[in-house]
Amino acid sequence: MLQIYNTLTRKTQPFCPADVANVKMFTCGPSTYQRAHIGNYRTFLFEDILQRYIEYQGYKVTRAIALTDIEDKAILQAEKEDTPLEEITSRNEAIIFKDFALLRIKKPDYPIRASHAVDQATDLISKLLDCGYAYWYNYRGVKNIYFKPLNFRGFGKLAHLDMSKWPEKPHRFHKDTYPGTPWNMGDFIIWHGCGLGSVCTHTSVGRGRPAWNIQDAAIVTKTLGYTIDVACGGIDNLVRHHDYTLAIVESVTGKQFSRYWLHGGHLFVEGEKMSKSKGNVLYPSDVLAKGYSGAELRFFLIYGPYREKMDFTFERLRQASMQLNSLRCMISDLQHIAASDRCPADSCMGRLRGVFEVHMNNDLDVKGAFDSLVQTITEIHQRRAALDSVEIKNVLGDLAAIDVVLQCLL
């Protein structure tokens, strides 16, 4: 049985979905005011591996991903470029899904723009206002709506906050996001009223736009409902963002929102966090320009514990590519080997999927699974002349099944 680390409980637990016929999975998506970099794709890839492995085990997965196309940063970017916001976000969204294809990331069933879930956001907001979890407040002449965390019993349970340190006096945070990782101890905005230069929509709660803090809640409840099995994202989303989403949905329903929460670790470059100011932001196209393939980049980004920090260097990418291509060469030899009439008494056949599953069931241990494949395929390759066509066919069949998950072997 698959065992996964649940951020909510801080324990590794057996994966038991509410409905075995339909696993519901939600993943935070990109902010489409800019291109996604390879650190973003590391997160998308661990989520892809999770979905593919759950499906490998026989489940059906329905997945939604949020495309953040209306937020403070996006509006500022449109002003900076003097370009319509829709043009910027559509352009970057197209690049993102082109990169998905390059990296063999399965496109989710519901890739939903935040701007297409405004109706659901306003419905949630109306319910939060009615229940006393949200309230109107006039800020600089604009009527906004804020969520009051102290009214939600259990706020901060995902990030395991010490709520005794939360100030009782109201303190409001008016922006969609704030730099850095400290907690904003106060009430967070869920609706931006219309001001000068604002991006506004006519809705049931007035003219304005949903804040980033409610957009994921709107998208997931619009597409998957109010209870899901898995919620995923990068570790940076654990601070503020995911606890906000959890609190909003559970305030409306009074029920557990997601059974499991998974978070992927940061990707650094040459030991430093990626930033435009440092000039070390890398996109998939930058890696391809160095002569590497999408499969090689995919392998590098999945080859390691997904919850731990990973450091990218081109030397490490070169070494990982050599590992991958060495295995692919042996597999190619097996694909082209001539059939033999001999059949050995001691065969390696049948070990591939079993050992693969042992490692993958251990919180998606892709590195252990791949290393075990290398060891077993090396043994098979060394004895390939003694294998008959049936054995080779079975080995290649196992590899094909495994590669439905890994997507870099064949």
- What would the pLDDT profile of 3-57 be if each residue is shown by its tens digit? 999 999 999 999 999 998 999 999 999 999 999 999 999 999 999 999 999 999 9
At 243, which CATH number? 3.40.50.620
In a domain, 84, yes or no: yes
Assess whether pLDDT exceeds 80 at residue 349. no
Same domain, 210 and 116: yes
* Main-chain dihedrals φ then ψ at residue 34, nearest 5 degrees: -140, 170
Residues 58 and 127 in one domain: yes
What's the average model confidence in pLDDT over 81-101?
97
> What pLDDT, on a 0 to 100 scale, did the predictor assign at position 384?
82
Answer whether residue 324 is part of any domain: yes
**Residue keyed to tokens 């496109």:** 107
The verdict on 21 and 72 lying in the same domain is yes
* Domain edge (last residue) among 221, 242, 265: 265
**Same domain assignment for residues 356 and 256:** no
169, pLDDT greater than 70: yes
User: 393 and 348 in one domain?
Assistant: yes
For 280-308, the pLDDT digits (tens) are 999 999 999 999 999 999 999 999 999 99
Per DSSP, the chain holds a count of helices (H) and strands (E) of 12, 16
pLDDT at 181 over 90: no
DSSP string covering 284-316, please? HHHHHTTT--HHHHHHHHHSS-TTS-EEE-HHH
Residues 359 and 255 both lie in one domain:
no
Same domain flag for 348 and 255: no
| Residue 159 structural domain | 3-265
b/e burial code for range 109-121 (CB count within 10 A of at least 16 → b): ebbbbbbebbebb
Domain membership flag for residue 130: yes
Is residue 65 situated within a structural domain? yes
358 within some domain: yes
194 assigned to some structural domain: yes
> Does residue 291 belong to any structural domain of this protein?
no
User: Could you say which of 242, 265, 288 is where a domain stops?
Assistant: 265
Query: What is the tally of structural domains in the chain?
Result: 2
Same domain flag for 245 and 317? no
Residue 152 domain-assigned (yes or no): yes
What is the per-residue pLDDT for 344? 45
pLDDT at 197: 65
**Portion of the chain with pLDDT greater than 90, in percent:** 85
339 and 242 both lie in a single domain:
no
Residue 275 has a pLDDT of 80
Total-model pTM = 0.95
